[in-house]
């Protein structure tokens, strides 16, 4: 009886770990939904080897969520021609995965996809006012 209880507890723990591993890259402590201090959220689609929109204008404090709707892995990398470190870049985003970042300060934030750097449609910018 005790062995069955231990096995059940072990399997429940494994299921919990598997669920954590399946959470999107943008998951936060708020149940997997990214938050913004001002509640503003904007979205960028990654589809057909392109970021849409190519230039997104948002207010300071907005959280931008990129979602990979393509069939290949993409990144959201800060910079125009290499990772400039101005904000935390994404890991590789598998199809269906998302990444978010909250832009606190005004400015223009170029970004690109590392694996598809050669493709102009995989270069874009967030303009924060």
* pLDDT tens string 43-54: 999 999 999 999
Is residue 65, in this structure, part of any structural domain at all? yes
| 112 lies in some domain | yes
Task: Encode burial over 76-104: b for 16+ CB neighbours within 10 A, e otherwise.
Answer: bbbbeeeeeeebebbeebeeebbbbbbbe
What percentage of residues in the chain have a pLDDT greater than 90? 59
Tell me which range, 4-8, 54-58, 117-121, is most confidently predicted by mean pLDDT.
54-58
Rg of the chain (C-alpha set): 18
Query: Tens digits of per-residue pLDDT, 69-114?
Result: 999 999 999 999 888 989 899 999 999 999 999 999 999 999 999 9
Task: Count up the domains in the chain and report the number.
Answer: 1
Residue 123 is assigned to a structural domain of this protein = yes
Measured CA to CA, the distance from residue 68 to residue 16 in angstroms comes to 25
Q: What is the CATH number of the domain that holds 120?
A: 2.60.40.420
Between 15 and 2, whose confidence is greater? Answer: 2
Q: Domain range holding 55? A: 34-128
Q: Give the residue from 91, 75, 86 showing the smallest Cα distance to 110.
A: 86
- pLDDT one-digit tens code per residue, 8-61: 443 344 333 333 333 333 333 233 444 445 579 999 999 999 999 999 999 999
Q: Dmax of the chain from CA atoms?
A: 63
Model pTM score:
0.70
């Amino acid at each position: 009886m005790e062995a069955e209880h231990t096995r059940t507890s072990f399997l429940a723990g494994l299921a919990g770990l598997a669920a954590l591993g399946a959470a999107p890259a943008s998951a936060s402590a708020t149940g997997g939904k990214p938050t913004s201090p001002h509640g503003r959220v904007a979205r960028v689609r990654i589809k057909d080897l392109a970021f849409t929109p190519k230039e997104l204008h948002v207010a300071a404090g907005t959280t931008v969520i990129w979602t990979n709707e393509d069939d290949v892995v993409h990144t959201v990398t800060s910079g125009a021609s290499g990772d400039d470190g101005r904000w935390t870049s994404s890991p590789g985003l598998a199809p269906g995965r998302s990444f978010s970042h909250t832009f606190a300060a005004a400015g223009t934030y170029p970004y690109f996809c590392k694996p598809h750097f050669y493709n102009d449609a995989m270069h874009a910018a967030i303009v924060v006012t």
